[in-house]
Amino acid sequence: MTMKKTLLTLVAVIVALTATAQNPCPFKYGATEEDSLKCAEQVTLFRTFYNQKQYEEAYVPFQYIVNTCPCAWSGTFNYGKTMLEKMVKAEKDSVRKEHLIDTLIWAQTAYSTYHPQYYSYGKGLGWKAYYTIKYRASNKELRDQAFEDFVTSVELEKENTQPAVWEAYFQLAVHKTKETKDTTYVIDAYERATEYIDDAIISNQEAFEKALADFDTLDSQLANNQIGKMQYDKAVEKLVKDTTTRVNAINAYKKVTAKLENGFGPYANGSILLGIYEKKFEENKDDLKALKKMLGILSKDSLCRASQMYSDILYILHQAEPSGKVAFFLGVQEFQKKKYDNAINFFNEAIRLYTTNEEKAQPYYFIATIESVRGSFSAARTHALEAARCNPKFGRPYILIGDMYRNSYNQFTNGGEGVIASAVYWAAADKYNRAQAVDPSLANECARKRAGLPAVSGKTLVENNLQPGQSYHVGGWINENTTVR
């Protein structure tokens, strides 16, 4: 980008942001009492027709409000977005349909102009670009402008960028790469997505986990008569709403991440990426933001992860700005080299630096795996259970525990610990069942493992006076109750 273009871009952004910071409406409802009454009347009509889904009727007061008193009520633009989309979809007349599309696109930045406290400039620009691509993609000039708007929006909104905007931006980046044969477009888009979507997931996860802790606090306060039932119910209702919003956001971001990773697949050739980033790395060794974006891309490919450049980036970031993610990646590197003490140190650091329980699950699991390899089954189980506690949908810790129970057979041979040796297979099956229950995607693997467990002979059951379905305690380091099979 030339200096002139850079300056023009900065000026455009500053002017736009300044415009939103100033009051665009000298009179919120109108210059006169008569204007204010008319505006209030139109707002009421719009709300009434909109709630009844009578969008054609609602469009008349909508037009009056946005043209005469746009600062009167933010819902005019908020609900107007849905109204206009419905109308565009239903409209048969091509000329009017184009007019409605123009209004929908215009309304996105107008919303941010008239109600910046509810709708930021970056958000408005992103949705303007989204609808431009949805309805005006055949126009190259508008398409190119939409791409620039996407970039500006993403850099302003960062982790607040909406999943639908990410998807549209990335699809357009792929299109531009195919159109120009320049992979920079798709790589830059994926870099931004990798960084900012991760931040969005983490911030929502932090809020979700805090809300869960607040539930426990409320239960304690109610039990100790510190708050009344009415206050409790009201607070719980709000928390339920908040947690639902957070879970929906996390799922939406994870869903769009999967789509972006699938779309990036054709451009994720390790050799190509290394060739692109080697020069970029040399030019940006002191730019931590650039290094973080490179790390986000390189960490997706096994060849890139095995490169010296990847290690160098990790150590530079670890030295300058330690984080849970960097410590975890360093731990994985040491794990792969079988330098287990170093790996455990990095994994423990990751656990300290990560801000959500879900993130901590993986380093706990790796520590459990190392302890298992070393034969420290009890310590391994402790860390595996911590991993499962941190992420209740994580089934692999239970598979690891099941494998350790299965491999403990020799400890109980000939009645060792007062337990029949084959009982460890029942305990192992319990853990495989638990793994499948928390993560159904592991069903086939768990079924294979259960099928591979030797059956306890009928003779052994008779000799030990055991019946199928009976509870049985497995002692020793396992120290758990299981069920006779």
- For residue 289, what are its two tokens? 């933001």
User: Closest by alpha carbon to 428, among 386, 389, 485, 387?
Assistant: 485
pLDDT tens profile 49-80: 999 999 999 999 999 999 999 999 999 999 99
- For residue 458, what are its two tokens? 């009928």
**Cα of 75 vs its chain's centroid, Å:** 28
Residue 76 makes CB contacts below 8 A (sequence gap 6+) with: 43, 46, 62, 65, 66, 70
The verdict on residue 127 lying in a domain is no
CA dist 186 to 125, 127, 302, Å? Answer: 20, 20, 20
How many CA atoms lie less than 13 Å away from 267 in the CB half-sphere?
24
Last residue of some domain: 81, 104, 119? 119
Angle at 413 between CA 408 and CA 414, to 5 degrees: 160
pLDDT tens profile 97-122: 999 999 999 999 999 999 999 999 99
Can you give the pLDDT at residue 22? Answer: 59
pLDDT tens profile 218-248: 999 999 999 999 999 999 999 999 999 999 9
What single-letter amino acid sits at 171? Q
The verdict on residue 357 lying in a domain is no
Query: If you average pLDDT over every residue of the chain, what do you get?
Result: 92
Q: pLDDT confidence of 12, banded at 50, 70, 90?
A: very low
pLDDT tens profile 156-165: 999 999 999 9
- How far is it, in rounded angstroms, from Cα 361 to Cα 333? 17
- How far is it, in rounded angstroms, from Cα 322 to Cα 438? 32
- How far is it, in rounded angstroms, from Cα 263 to Cα 255? 13
Print the domain residue range for 83: 3-119
What single-letter amino acid sits at 88? V
The verdict on residue 216 lying in a domain is no
The verdict on residue 140 lying in a domain is no
Instruction: Count CB-CB contacts under 10 A for residue 6.
Output: 10
Last residue of some domain: 100, 119, 138? 119
The answer to whether the CB of 204 falls within 8 A of the CB of 250 is yes
Across 418-435, b (16+ Cβ under 10 Å) vs e yields ebbbbbbbbbbbbbbebb
pLDDT tens profile 335-378: 999 999 999 999 999 999 999 999 999 999 999 999 999 999 99
User: Closest by alpha carbon to 170, among 139, 129, 205?
Assistant: 129
- How far is it, in rounded angstroms, from Cα 374 to Cα 97? 69
- How far is it, in rounded angstroms, from Cα 306 to Cα 92? 57
Say how many domains are in the chain: 2
C-alpha dihedral, 360 to 362 to 368 to 369, nearest 10°: -160
Q: Is 35 exposed, middle or buried (0-12, 13-18, 19+ CB in 10 A)?
A: middle
Specify which residues 472 forms β-bridges with. 482
- How far is it, in rounded angstroms, from Cα 19 to Cα 3? 24
What single-letter amino acid sits at 368? A
Q: What is the DSSP letter of 456?
A: P
Instruction: Count CB-CB contacts under 10 A for residue 238.
Output: 12
Identify the helix (H) or strand (E) that includes residue 220: helix 184-223
Can you give the pLDDT at residue 35? Answer: 87
Average pLDDT over residues 308-331: 97
The verdict on residue 182 lying in a domain is no
The verdict on residue 453 lying in a domain is yes
- How far is it, in rounded angstroms, from Cα 106 to Cα 169? 19
- How far is it, in rounded angstroms, from Cα 149 to Cα 1? 16
Give the range among 55-59, 283-287, 324-328, 417-421 with minimum mean pLDDT.
Answer: 417-421
User: Closest by alpha carbon to 71, among 37, 15, 117, 126?
Assistant: 117
- How far is it, in rounded angstroms, from Cα 46 to Cα 358? 44
- How far is it, in rounded angstroms, from Cα 109 to Cα 103? 11
Last residue of some domain: 119, 152, 177? 119
The verdict on residue 456 lying in a domain is yes
The verdict on residue 327 lying in a domain is no
Instruction: Using DSSP, state whether 391 is helix, strand or coil.
Output: coil
What is the DSSP track for 305-367? HTSHHHHHHHHHHHHHS--HHHHHHHHHHHHHTT-HHHHHHHHHHHHHH-SSHHHHHHHHHHH
Is the pLDDT score of 268 beyond 90?
Answer: no
Can you give the pLDDT at residue 216? Answer: 93
- How far is it, in rounded angstroms, from Cα 51 to Cα 44? 11
